[in-house]
Amino acid sequence: MATKYSCLAVIPARGGSKRIPRKNIRSFGGKPMLFYSIQAALRSELFANVVVSTDDEEVACLAEMLGAEVPFLRDKKLADDFTPVSKVTADALRQLDPKGDQYFYVCQLMPNCPLRTADDVKESFSQIVASNAIAQISVSRFGWQTPWWAMKMCEGFFLEPLFQKDAWRRSQDLESLFCPTGAVWWAQSASLIKHENFYMPGVTGWEIPWQRAMDIDTEEDWKMAEFLLEYSLENF
């Protein structure tokens, strides 16, 4: 029977990736990319089960070697380039808890966000419990790239501000804005099953420092993340 603090971690890690081939098992900082999300989940000591959802046998074997569970292979229909990852997590939750009585919370940890730590997972959990939110996603505060100054470049290279009244204001006079990152997403399990999306009515945000918020989607992202990983190891 699910208690208020019974938690499931789901790490979606399909085998295919167009922009960075096989990125979930590629070496990052001397370890497979997948290692960092599994370790953050295990070291947080929050979860009854840490499960990797994958369609790929090699990823599955690696995940088990790293300490995660892979109780099933994901249906190929949920491993294409179009299926929202929230549906993958909801699918895993249904398979693992068909009666809905095992896990009160489910946490989605994206493997392409390897810089998030076990402490981040614990702190984000503390917030969703304290706020009694039905869903919570990690967000990072915009910094020097002030989104209020965003512009379109039109024909003839003419610039058109997206936010006319704010485009020329000083950054210190503008309201803070936040960008979602896949680092740590939580939901009450029943709510995720109902909506199949963490972006449900009432979703809240948990702020993670930008140094640990990075989603790695391109080779340029990879190089930056490796620099941030090396910096964190040198300074902590």
Measured between alpha carbons, how far is 82 from 77 in angstroms, rounded to an integer? 10
**Quick one: which of 112, 107, 134, 110 has its CA closest to 123?**
107
**Do 14 and 55 contact (CB within 8 A), yes or no?**
yes
Asked if 162 contacts 151 with a C-beta cutoff of 8 angstroms, the reply is: yes
pLDDT in tens, the chain (236 residues): 566 679 999 999 998 887 899 999 999 999 999 999 999 999 999 999 999 999 999 999 999 999 999 999 999 888 888 899 999 999 999 999 999 999 999 999 999 999 999 999 999 999 999 999 999 999 999 988 899 999 999 999 999 999 999 999 998 899 999 999 999 999 999 999 999 999 999 999 999 999 999 999 999 999 999 999 988 765 44
Using alpha carbons, select from 3, 177, 180, 193 the residue that is nearest to residue 101. Answer: 3
29 contacts: CB under 8 Å, gap ≥ 6: 114, 226, 229, 230, 233
